[in-house]
Every structure is written in structure tokens, then in C-alpha cells.
């Protein structure tokens, strides 16, 4: 089988399958038995299941998602929608398969929030990385991202899921369900954004020194990183200044600082976090990036 087929279809399908299993495990192990409010369409399915026990949560999720997927077809496109249908179907089926497989007992609510949030955030981050969603409010967040490109996916989902969590708490008849649900939701958004954006961690260094040429040469030749020279002016003296700008990976920070300070111990060095770095030496731009 050709390499491009593996990269474009097989590997994403395997990742989505694993992520869907993680999603279902987090729900049946941490959320549902401990009575923690769950956001999104799965949370609405929790309410329906509480009112109508004969309605399985997984099947209910699939039924509720049908109108949302019909709406998403117009805005997302066929390929993304097919992968989202696959993720939604698998996660729903896994929930219904895992539920009777074991006698899932309630655990300490804080532990349920922490590990439930970790599993949920990890699974959603992996699914979103493949350009898919698990349906429901995840799909709604993916649609909103087209309009609100500057807002991280985790923050979008956080806002959308709040109303559902409150509704689940009302159905469960306890405020604690909502409070624990908010804790778990916050943890899941941090983990999700970490999966989506944190893997690409990078730093940017601004270097001001009287030995810019030597520092630039050490970074370019010794550390294999590009350097850009910015032209500035001293605010107090008015003298022209040359500022070196260098983007590098998190793991290279010690080497960068050592190289600068070895050449000029008095160099002025500022290191900042970079949210995303696209281009040579880092990652390429993808039009489906979140």
C-alpha cells in the first residue's frame, strides 16, 4: 500500500479509533458512575437516559447528532464530515459496549474530575488533530472556529458546554454535579489545547549586544537556527541598535543562552513563549489547522 494512503487515511483512522475508545472510557469510568455533569450532546443524552432509562446513551447521541451533521455538511465539507461521523459513531458505540462490560463504581469525585478531564481532553485533542470531531457541540465548536479563528478550540468548547452542564445538574438534582462538571471541563480544555498547540512549543529570543555578528554566526552555524536582524534605536542614547531575532524549540533554550553569554556575558537577552511557529525548521501551514 502506498505511503500517501497510509498517511492520509489509515493513520488518521487508527488515531480516531483509539481516541474514541479513550473518550468512551473516560465517560463510563469517571463521569457517568460518579454523577458528574458532562457537556455537549453526550450530556444531553445523559439527561434523556436519566429520564428514560431504556434509551442507551450511545444510541441517543447518534440520534441527536443527525441534524447537526446535516447542518455541518454545508460548512465543513465531505471529508471532514465523514471523519467526524466515524469518530462520533465509534465513541457512541464504545460507550454502549463498555457500559455493561464491567460494574463501573463511583469513585472519589475529585479523582473522577481529574482523570475524566484528562481522558476527555486527550481524546478530543487527538480527534481534532485529525480534522474530525466527535459530533454535537464539538462539531458546533469546529464550525464556530471558522468565524473565530483566533479563539482556541478548548475555550470555544468551554463556553458551549457550560449551559449543557447546568442542565445535566438540574436533571441529576444536585448542584455538586455541575460544580464537579465545571472542574472536569476546565481540566479537559487545558489538556485539549495542550494536545493541539502545546506539542508545537517554541520560544523566541531577542538579543541586543555589541557582538551581534559573532552571536549570529554561533547560532546559525553552531545551533543550525536562523537569525533575523532587526534595526532599532536606543531610547535613552538615541544610538542605532541591531536586535537579533531567533525562533527555536523549547529544548534548545539552554544552548541558545549558553552560546549568547559565552560570546558576550553582558548581552541583553529576552526569551518569550511562541504560540505557533510556522516555516522552515518548524511545521508547515495546514489550511485545516485549528
- Tell me if 39 sits within 8 A of 161, measured CB to CB: yes
* CB-count exposure of residue 170 (10 Å: 0-12, 13-18, 19+): middle
Question: Domain 201-274 belongs to what topology?
Answer: Alpha-Beta Plaits (3.30.70)
The secondary structure element, H or E, covering residue 270 is strand 268-274
pLDDT band at 16 (very low <50, low <70, confident <90, very high): very high
| Mean of all residue pLDDT scores within the chain | 81
**Sheet arrangement for strand 228-233:** 228-233, 240-249, 202-208, 268-274
What radius of gyration, in Å, describes the C-alpha atoms of the chain? 24
Alpha helices in 27-108 (DSSP H): 40-51, 57-76, 78-98
**Torsion sign across C-alpha atoms 206, 287, 68, 195:** negative
Q: What is the pLDDT of residues 80-113, one digit of tens each?
A: 677 878 888 888 889 889 988 888 899 999 999 9
283, β-bridge pairs: 278
Count CA atoms within 13 Å of residue 277 on its CB side. 19
The secondary structure element, H or E, covering residue 268 is strand 268-274
- Tell me if 281 sits within 8 A of 263, measured CB to CB: no
Mean pLDDT, rounded, for 174-195: 85
Q: What is the pLDDT of residues 128-138, one digit of tens each?
A: 888 777 767 76
Count CA atoms within 13 Å of residue 165 on its CB side. 23
Report for 3-7, 55-59, 60-64, 260-264: range of highest mean pLDDT:
260-264
Query: Which of 84, 93, 81 minimizes the C-alpha distance to 27?
Result: 93
Residue 175: Cβ within 10 Å count:
12
Is the pLDDT at 288 greater than 60? The verdict is no
Domain ranges of the chain: 3-199, 201-274
pLDDT band at 25 (very low <50, low <70, confident <90, very high): very high
Per-residue HEC secondary structure of 181-247 comes to HHHHHHHHHHHHHHHHHHHHCEEEEEEECCCHHHHHHHHHHHCCCCCEEEEEECCCCCCEEEEEEEE
pLDDT band at 280 (very low <50, low <70, confident <90, very high): low
Amino acid at each position: 500500500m502506498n505511503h500517501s494512503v497510509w498517511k492520509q487515511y489509515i493513520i488518521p483512522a487508527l488515531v480516531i479509533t483509539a481516541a474514541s475508545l479513550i473518550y468512551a472510557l473516560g465517560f463510563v469510568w469517571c463521569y457517568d458512575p460518579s454523577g458528574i455533569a458532562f457537556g455537549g450532546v453526550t450530556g444531553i443524552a445523559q439527561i434523556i437516559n436519566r429520564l428514560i432509562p431504556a434509551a442507551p446513551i450511545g444510541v441517543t447521541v447518534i440520534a441527536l447528532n443527525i441534524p447537526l451533521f446535516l447542518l455541518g455538511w454545508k460548512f465543513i465539507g465531505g471529508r471532514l464530515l465523514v471523519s467526524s461521523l466515524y469518530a462520533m459513531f465509534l465513541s457512541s458505540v464504545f460507550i454502549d459496549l463498555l457500559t455493561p462490560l464491567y460494574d463501573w463504581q463511583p469513585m472519589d469525585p475529585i479523582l473522577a474530575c481529574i482523570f475524566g478531564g484528562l481522558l476527555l481532553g486527550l481524546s478530543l485533542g487527538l480527534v481534532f488533530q485529525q480534522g474530525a470531531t466527535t459530533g454535537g457541540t464539538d462539531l458546533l465548536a469546529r464550525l464556530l472556529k471558522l468565524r473565530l479563528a483566533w479563539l482556541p478550540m478548548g475555550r470555544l468548547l468551554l463556553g458551549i458546554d457550560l449551559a449543557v452542564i447546568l442542565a445535566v445538574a438540574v436533571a441529576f438534582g444536585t448542584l455538586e454535579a455541575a460544580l464537579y462538571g465545571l472542574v472536569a471541563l476546565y481540566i479537559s480544555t487545558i489538556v485539549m489545547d495542550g494536545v493541539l498547540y502545546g506539542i508545537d512549543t517554541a520560544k523566541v529570543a531577542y538579543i541586543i549586544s555589541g557582538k551581534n555578528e559573532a552571536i549570529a554566526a554561533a547560532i546559525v552555524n553552531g545551533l543550525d537556527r536562523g537569525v533575523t536582524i532587526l534595526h532599532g534605536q536606543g531610547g535613552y542614547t538615541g544610538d542605532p541598535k541591531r536586535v537579533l531575532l531567533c525562533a527555536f524549540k523549547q529544548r534548545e533554550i539552554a544552548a541558545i543562552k549558553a552560546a549568547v553569554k559565552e560570546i558576550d556575558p553582558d548581552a541583553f537577552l529576552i526569551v518569550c513563549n511562541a504560540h505557533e511557529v510556522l516555516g522552515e525548521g518548524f511545521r508547515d501551514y495546514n489550511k485545516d489547522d485549528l
